[in-house]
Chain A
């Protein structure tokens, strides 16, 4: 895999992890708002 592929892979991984973190955080916030 060339350098561009590595950078793209790392970028997609970072974005996916941030996305999952935000989804999880949103769920937690919803739970707290219901209490």
Chain B
């Protein structure tokens, strides 16, 4: 079973295309584009719509709607005079719970919500009302965390993809958002509507140019700049492109189609469809760290008093190297960088030999479970089980890069810096993971490893 994102959409959040499209030709064109996108969804084999709404802010991590049938009457905080939208939505509750579990497994703070009367945000209501009338396809809705950064938002998407793949879903990913979001601060007549400023218009056109070329990852990388240039600093920053880009494996060669672009009360409203088929230009470079697990920078204000052992940075270790490349070498951007001149793995015949793998995380070099000592060499408390799990995860990523997998591991040599303290916890995680595969194993006690980690494994696997 292998699911996938079969289409991605960017759609506006304002209620005008639902409540009064006839009052302005541009609003009607947005409505028509919404209808076009709806028809494309109906003609596909989609079985899930995933909404990331910038109008549902959250503080305690991300929240995922899990009520199978949320229903109420939505009235916009600003445009209440346009009328009400009675909604009754069909939510894939199983997917919502699975996504929440996947978030937790990847280090995110996350929870589901399922409460009578919960106020589904205007953006989600508008998008589902127009893209999915009659609830033909179940949906899932996720909030935008007000404090989340790029790493957290990226990992949120990857956790979602985990579930899409595991459940074999054919999913539509939808970012509900404005481009420029500066509205007129006074009432206007519908015929007076226009993009608020020339600067906003120019940036919107640049965004649409990129999207029409399928350069989603580039837009993701420009998010901070876009936010500074044309985004009013409301509760939620310009994060949806991080999410949507990660939902598409951070690619730049999607096939993009801008169905409409119009002002709604001054803000830039666009309906854009992105198909996963390559537009033939070849993917462009990817030059920001990719992130698989959320290492956490969220309790920085509280760190001095924290007794937690998880997710300390380990930047004080030895210098990092780019993996050595050459014939038969295998390297993965999803694995931590080496601490010397060697590759992540090497193929010889039908066998794959991995360099020693520790728990350090790719990108930020953090150590799940915490380092064993600080920069001054003072011993720290750490979680051996978290470290061991991270080792196994890193091994899995390198194996997958080589076309192998965890179940093809045939021999393991493990190194522990404190056998007495850690063997039990290490052994427990082993039993849950590689122990189920059944490779031969040797466990050695050693004095130290190059970085402040407690466990490392040397792997031989079949390809």
Q: Do A and B come from one complex?
A: no
